[in-house]
Structures are given as C-alpha cells and as structure tokens.
Structure 1
C-alpha cells in the first residue's frame, strides 16, 4: 500500500512501482505527485522525477501522453537542476524521441538534452541518453549528408567517454543508418571498416556484432560479382559462428546469401552452372532451434522455388523444424508461430508448413500484382478520391480533444455495402479447383466458410481484415448516386503523399522490402519497443466477368490463383489425415484468403475504378456511438487533400467552404460539374 512507502527512499519506491499493474502505477504516480505538492523537498522531487521517467516507458502511451510527462519533469528540473533529476529528465526525452516520426520534432529534443549534457559536465549517463536521441534523429534523415554530422557528433561523445560500449553501440547504429542511405559500395565499404574497428575495440561485443552484420548486408546489396559477395558471406559467417543463437545476426546473414543466390541465378541464365553447395550455407534454416522472421522465410521460399528449383520433398525436409518469430509489423506471424508450435511433433509438419507458407506467399504476390502505382497511375487518372457525406467532414478534417488530426477510418470488412463482398474471389477459386489436379475445391471452401448448402443455421466467421475504399472515378454521376448521398455529399481528392509505395512486407525476389528498424539497444524491461509506422498502400480492385479477370494483369493473377488452389487442396488432404483438428490452421487460411478476396468484385462494379487499402489487425479500436459498437483502425498520419468537390445537390456550398479551408488540410474547394436532378 502506498501509505507505507517511504517516498524519500528512491530504490524502495521504484521497486514497488515496477511491480505494480498499469492501473496501480497510475495511483502511485498520483500519490507521489500529491506528496511532492505537499512536501516539495529535493528528495521527494528526485523520487517523483524517477517515477515519471519509469512511467514514460509504457508502450501504450501516445506522443501527447509523454509530452505531458516531459513538461511535468521539466518543471521539477527547473526547480532542482541537479544530476539526480537531469538523468530521468533525459530518459523521458529519449522516450519522446522514439514516439516521433518527424525529424523536425526530434531536433529540439536533441538540442535540449545537449544543454542538459553540458550543464552536468558531460556526465556519462546523460551522454548515453544524448547519443540515443541523436541516433533516433539519424533514422529520420532523408540522405547521407544529413546523417554524417549526427554520426560524427556521436563519435565525439564516444571518444570523450573512453568508448563506453553503450555509446559505441549507438555510434555503430548511426553508421548502420548512414550505410542505408549510401549509394556506392565504396562508401558502404568505408562505413563497414569503421564498424569493424568498433567491433574489434569492443572485444566483438554482441551488440556491435549485430550492427556489423547489418552493414555487411547493405554492402552485399551493392556488390555485383560472385567473388565480392562471397567475401562478404565469409565475413558475416564468422560473426554468425560466434553468435549462432542470434536471429538479428542470422537475418542479415540470410539476406547476404540471398544476394549471392541472385548472382548465381544470373550466371545460370547465362548458361553457367549454379553452385549447388550453396544449400549447405543455409543449414541453420533446417537445424535451428530459434524462430526466424516471416519475411526471411518467404524469401527462402522464393529462392528455393524459383531459383534453385529444389524439389517439393526437399522443401518439406528443409522447413520441417522451422519456427516463426512473432513481429509487430506482421500480425500473421503470430498465427503461424502458434500453428508451427502445435504441429511440432506431427510427422508431416514440413508439408503443412510449406503449403501454408506457399499459400501466404502467393496471396501476397496477388496483392503485389494489384498494387496501384500512385505517382504514375494517379496522374493518368487525375487523382484518387473518396466519396462521403457532408456531415462526416468534421470527423475527417477536424481534431480530437487532444488536438490530434481526425482522419478517415479503416473499417472492418463486414461493414462493406455490397452483401456479396469477397464472394467473387471464392467463386473464382471453386471454378479453378474443378480443373486443377482434377479435384473439386468446393467442399474444402464450403467447410472453411461454414456454407452447408442447407437451411441449417450457418456460423458467421470473424474478420480481422479492415478496408478503406477510394476511387479513380472523380465527379461521376453513378458515384454521386451510390456513395455521395445522391449528390448531397462530397468527394475528397487525396494528396498522393499520403499513400505509401510499399507495405512493411513487400515480397519481391529482386527488390524485397526489409524493415531497417533494428532491435532494441536496451533490455526489454527497460525500454519500449520502437514504434512501427503503418503503411497505406492502395490496391486496385480486379473485376471478374464470367469467372475471368478483366485487364492486362489477368495472366499473372490467374497463375497465382492456380497456385493457391493447389495449396488449399493439399492442405485439405493433410487436415483429413490429422488425428486432432487444429482450428488455427483454418483461421490462418481464412485470414490469408481475406487479404486478397476483398480485392475482387463482379464486373458490374467496374465503373467505380475502385482502390482499397487492406489491413490485418487483431487490435482494432471501438466506436461505441452506435447501438452496436463498430470496429475500426485509426490512420496514424495526417491526410491532406488536393480538393474537396461539393456534390451537385449540396445546398449553400459557400457556407460549407469556409470550414473546409479553416482546417488547413484542403488546397481547393469546388462545386461538382455534374448536372444532377
């Protein structure tokens, strides 16, 4: 109980605080604040500052939450500017910098912590925090010229403190960030040499080993000969041999091998023999006892299938003991990880793993085929728009009570207007299933979707898929009629800067997108996970007529659908052989199909020229303003608009325009050119 706490005993208070639940922590903070207001002594101030610093580690806190903590602790520091308050103050500033995506926001934090650092005789604890903020700042820079002076500053701090491993590691991360922006192998090689020197200075410390491996990975991406990449493979293998239990070293090692395999593939195309011994370099994939990132696993599926053409039985063997690492950027990894654990003793586990991965990989490839090239195609289409009611403008262009911008929402797929949403793709699979391997897929799909074909009550499946629709059909009569409240609504033309080119995953054998976010530098108990920014990639809807996909992309998508059918049939057979039904397998299959099935519609909707953002989430927000709360995902970045077109039947448009301009998020307001009766 807080009444028994000695508030002047910092160690006792912190120990108690860290053992509390989140709800209880709030009570402790309130009690400590009250105690400080009653007795604003230096000792109580130090306790309160440290409690606030520890509290700021909460992953659930928003940027505004931490800003409030920063302001509170600043007031304490202004009154008691000693090192015991400066240290927690600097800590909270680090946490704030980790929540911010804009370098313009992080720079003032770096300036503030620099002042604190100099006020306290360049104390080593403040130095570490200063270096962390600078490294966070380096991640947000757009080019190498901006990162270089930041890295140089961290280097000076490192030298001032006799190359303390915590600062040396931070300097190495800044160099990794620099290498991410360097374009030539000569530049990256120089950066590699610097990190290698730090690695040796720090007695091959594991943290520096990770950074060294990632920079070698960046170097390999610029190397264009087998001999060069082989040397890089050999270097990273030396690191891996020392730390073969570290996924954060195995991952770049896998990437470098991938780059070597691509060189081998080029040689194969030239009629030269591929080095079959390369398969031996990835023995850790079969024999490992630690989990691997999903994107690395998919990468190997691509390599084995399309480059090395390894037979299916070999694939089943290589992947039999595979484990998947759960990562926040790929929610699907959690489901796969659970399935793989549950079938760890099943004799045909390799087959199930491979077929689930192939299903997932081909679904992601369909998404890649349907990806809309915003910068190119939107110019041809005159933009991307969203139709809505006038009444919803304040929820799209306004601000919440904390002055955060409100946005469009990504809604659960069950709320879409068309009652046949997703059925077009399922029907396509059934038709393909009748001709693939001479087996009927209908029963398998009916079982998955609980379609008994009788009058019995059917189960309604849950959906973790969230959709947001846009259109390339701007200011068109059918769109006003169906989505613009019969001409009384509005059409918002979105600024192209909102849309991203790639997801957090983007599986491409030649240009796979890998998150450059490195692992945490600190203990899990000390630091929150780094924030992963959401990506908002628009996908074209494919229109289907007589079970044929319209447009130029039909051949590639048809081939991918055929591969999905094969995996579904094989998984259906494997499930029948299993003594115990694992419902997670069905849930994963449904979730994977859901990723793409909402990107297919009947050709009668072709006039909509629809684009969709598709997101997977098991942690949506609740809108409880309706009688039954609705699920949605927030968009975590501000959307701005080129134009808002007021519908042809909007009354008094001149009275609506001032508010739209006042929001500062719209360049132009116009009236529809459509004649609407």
Structure 2
C-alpha cells in the first residue's frame, strides 16, 4: 500500500463514549453519510463552486460544445442546454451516497475535544492498517470503493482556478475489493499503451473541472452520434443516466474518464469550509457508484443532536476485525476527570473493558489538557 496511505501514517479519531463502546465491543466502525456530518455546508461546497465556474465560463463552454459537435452541433447544443454539466453533477451527488469517517493529524487537541470528543475518547490509529482492515470488508459483487484523502479547505469566495489539491490527481488513494489502487492501475495501463495520461498530473481544481466538462461534452457527442443512445427529446435524467453509466464503466484508452468521474465523487467529500481549517482533517470515504440501489449496503440509523436539535442520521457499519492491532493509544477526554465518580477508578474500568474485548495491549491515558467546561 503506498501513496496517500503511507504518507498519512497516524491519525486521531475523536469520538463519543457511546461510539467508543460500539467500536470496541463489536469491532465495527460507523461511517456517516456526508450530508449528515456536523458541518451542513460540507456537501454543498462543490456544487457552489461548479455553478460559479460554469457561469463565469459559460461562453467558453458554449464554444466547446459547438466545436466538439461539428456537423451535429445544433443537436448537441440542444442536448447540453437541457442537460448542462452543473445539473449533471447535482444528479450524481443526489444518487450516489458518500459515507465518511473523520480523522485529524492533531493529538490531544482542545478544539477537537470540544467539538467531537467531549467526555469521550481519542483513538490514535495506524492509517495504513485501518484502511487495509476496512478494505477487507469490500465485496467484489457490489463494486464499492474506499478512498483516503486530506481535506482541502476552501471558502465560497474562492475561484476554482486558484484552488490547488494537496497532491496530483494520480496520487489519490482509491481502491475496490479487486484492485488495491484504481488511479495507479489506470495510469500505468495508459502509459504502457502510449495513451495520454496528462489528467493524472492535475493539481489545479480549475483545470480538473475544465477537463471534466470537456470530457462530459465529448461523451454527449459520442452517445448522440456513434452509440446513438441519447436523443434531444430525452429527459435530463435519462441523458444523465446514460452518460454516467457510459463513463463509469468505460475501459481501454478512455479509462481516464472513469477516474475523472470517481475523483469528482471523492472531491465532493474532501472540500470543507476553511472556518474548520484548524481541524487538519483526513477523511476515509466509502461509496458505491452504482445507480442501482440493489447494489448498496443498507443504511442504518441513529438519533443525533446538533445545535439543540435532534434528527435521524443515516450511517453504515463496516467490520474492522484487526482494529486492536491498529490502535496505538487511547486518550480519555479532559472531562472524564470531572465525572461524578473517581477518575482513577474510571480509568481502570476502561482498561478492564478493553481486556475483556481482547484489547489489553493498548495503552490508556488521560488527556494532559486542562479545561474550563
């Protein structure tokens, strides 16, 4: 395992007592659906940027449609006006559920205790081991993906052209049950066959978006003229489904189209408002890109309280049978010292709970932070 996974050797997961109890007693971990994370703007940011970008560059996009359309430019323009890229991206995000587990680079952090681990625990995790453990649960039949990425912090005033990814597109980690590194696999295949691999070197989000838009327009033309599977009279949803299924499963010299699509899904889960930049967040993402609900793992549900309001939250559980090997240390929140019980007795209870669940080798400590709450 290489690339992002090995660069991010260690991550901290701050969690509630209830979630900690569940992880240890079941050897399963929850990944929350991205629309239901603590920051409600998470999943909206990519749409905001794409909409802004297409408005600014609408004349360039219209010119590209005419150039690619050639002798069929009138029909292609009609289709594009009905099914533009920004609506296509919303269609994708409305149909593909992303599930996220959040880690941070920072250990024993007061802000992280305050937001996510208040009264709970911090698990210091070996990232390569955890990702390998999660990956073992992938089922080849449902074609789900697990990815790993640093969060890219942005604000709504930024221009995509000035936004840089933390690494080249080809170095992002994404895997399935069958293939441990999707982007490297496709890049190597294309290089070996002397096909264009420039898309894998992209780090600028504006350039990536332009590539994506151009790819989408070429797909529309191919499906209109060569495959003859879309027509101007089709509904936008019918057009979107046809393009999506064509690009997701495309092979050979156009395999990069699939990577561009998959990376957009990862990017939608990896952009976050820069108000949270102090979190230095790392995200593990799980998603099944199929549009067929029969291929999905059924969501589970719990009740979450945020800002004084309760709501029902969807999540999935993935087995982590080797989690005991991948936890380096457990730190108890500063608040545990203020529990209405002897905190040293509580520490021993936690250790005994771990021993009974075969986690006896893990070191448990109190936070070294002092707090006011």
User: Which TM-score bucket, shorter chain as reference?
Assistant: 0.5 to 0.7
Deviation at 1:647, TM superposition (A): 0.7
Q: Which residue of 1 aligns with 2:255?
A: none
Aligned twin of 1:597: 268
Change over 3 Å in CA distance of 1:534–1:435 after alignment to 2: closer
Q: CA separation in 1, counterparts of 2:95 and 2:140?
A: 30
Alpha carbon RMSD of aligned pairs, Å?
4.0
Alignment check: 8 A CA contact 2:133 2:322 kept: no
CA distance in 2, matches of 1:565, 1:668: 50
Q: Which has the higher contact order (CA 8 A, sep 6+)?
A: 2
Aligned partner of 1:619 in structure 2 is 296
How far off is 1:387 after superposition? 1.0
Does the aligned pair in 2 maintain the 1:541–1:612 contact within 8 Å? yes
Aligned length: 263
How far off is 1:646 after superposition?
A: 0.7
1:639 aligns with 2:291: no
Partner of 1:561: 209
Provide Cα deviations, 1:424-479, integer angstroms capped at 9, x if missing partner: 2223323443337623799835534779xxxxxxxx93443222222112211111
1:478 corresponding residue in structure 2: 111
> Cα–Cα, structure 1 residues 461 and 614, in superposed 2: closer, same or farther, change >3 Å?
same
8 Å Cα contact 1:410-1:635 kept in structure 2:
no
Structure having the larger proportion of residues in helix: 1
Deviation at 1:553, TM superposition (A): 3.5
Residue 656 of structure 1: SS of its match in structure 2? helix
8 A contact 1:436–1:565 mirrored in 2:
no
Q: Which runs of 5+ in 1 are unaligned?
A: 1-370, 400-405, 452-459, 505-528
Give the superposition deviation at 1:672: 1.2
Scaled by the length of structure 2, the TM-score of the pair is 0.58
Distance change in 2, residues 1:633/1:601 (3 Å): same
1:388 corresponds to 2:20: no
Q: 1:628 to 1:430 in 2, by over 3 A?
A: closer
Partner of residue 538, structure 1: 148
CA deviations 1:562-599 (Å, max 9, x no partner) are 21132345567878953223735535389854343111
SS in 1 for 2:29: coil
Change (3 A) 1:603 1:567: same
Q: Give TM-score scaled by structure 1 length.
A: 0.34
The reply to whether residue 583 of structure 1 matches residue 251 of structure 2 is: no
Is the alpha carbon distance of 1:447 and 1:531 closer, same or farther for their aligned partners in structure 2, counting shifts above 3 Å? closer
Q: Does 2:226 correspond to 1:549?
A: no
The residue aligned with 2:75 is: none
Name stretches of at least 5 consecutive residues in structure 2 with no aligned partner.
63-79, 169-201, 225-229, 249-260, 289-294, 304-310
Q: Distance in 2 between matches of 1:532 and 1:580?
A: 29
2:334–2:370 Cα contact (<8 Å) kept: yes
Cα shift at 1:644: 0.9
SS at match of 2:19: helix
Alignment of 1:271-286 (within 5 A): none
Q: Is the CA contact 1:493–1:642 (under 8 Å) kept in the aligned structure 2?
A: yes
Q: Which residue of 2 aligns with 1:430?
A: 51
Task: Please give the secondary structure, in 1, of the residue aligned with 2:18.
Answer: helix
Aligned CA distance change for structure 1 residues 501 and 426 (closer, same or farther; 3 Å): farther
Number of the residue aligned with 2:365: 670
Cα deviation code 1:161-197 (max 9, x no counterpart):
xxxxxxxxxxxxxxxxxxxxxxxxxxxxxxxxxxxxx
| 1:498 corresponding residue in structure 2 | 130
Partner of 2:24: 397
- Given that 2:133 and 2:320 are in contact with CA atoms closer than 8 Å, whether structure 1 keeps it comes out as no
Query: Secondary structure of 1:657's partner?
Result: helix
Name the residue aligned to 2:77: none
Aligned residue runs from structure 1 range 297-312, under 5 A: none
Deviation, structure 1 residue 398: 0.7
Task: For residue 639 of structure 1, report the CA deviation from its aligned partner.
Answer: 1.6
Tell me if 1:610 matches 2:243.
Answer: no
Separation in 2, partners of 1:531, 1:449: 26
What do the CA deviations read for 1:119-159 (whole angstroms, capped 9, x no partner)? xxxxxxxxxxxxxxxxxxxxxxxxxxxxxxxxxxxxxxxxx
In structure 1, C-alpha distance between the alignment counterparts of 2:335 and 2:265, rounded to whole Å? 37
- Do the aligned partners of residues 598 and 584 (structure 1) sit closer, same or farther apart at CA in structure 2, a change above 3 Å counting? farther
Tell me which protein shows more strand as a share of its residues. Answer: 2
C-alpha contact 2:165 2:204 (8 A) present in aligned 1:
no
CA spacing shift, 1:418–1:571, aligned 2, 3 Å:
farther
Q: Secondary structure at the match of 2:286?
A: strand
Deviations 1:271-324 (A, max 9, x none): xxxxxxxxxxxxxxxxxxxxxxxxxxxxxxxxxxxxxxxxxxxxxxxxxxxxxx
Change in 2 beyond 3 A, CA 1:636/1:377: closer
Q: Distance in 1 between matches of 2:134 and 2:59?
A: 35
* DSSP 3-state at the match of 1:461: helix
Mapped to 2, the partners of 1:431 and 1:624 lie a distance apart of: 34
Q: 2:37 aligns with which of 416, 429, 434?
A: 416
| 1:604 Cα deviation from its structure 2 partner | 2.0
1:649 to 2:335 alignment: yes
SS of 2:107's partner is coil
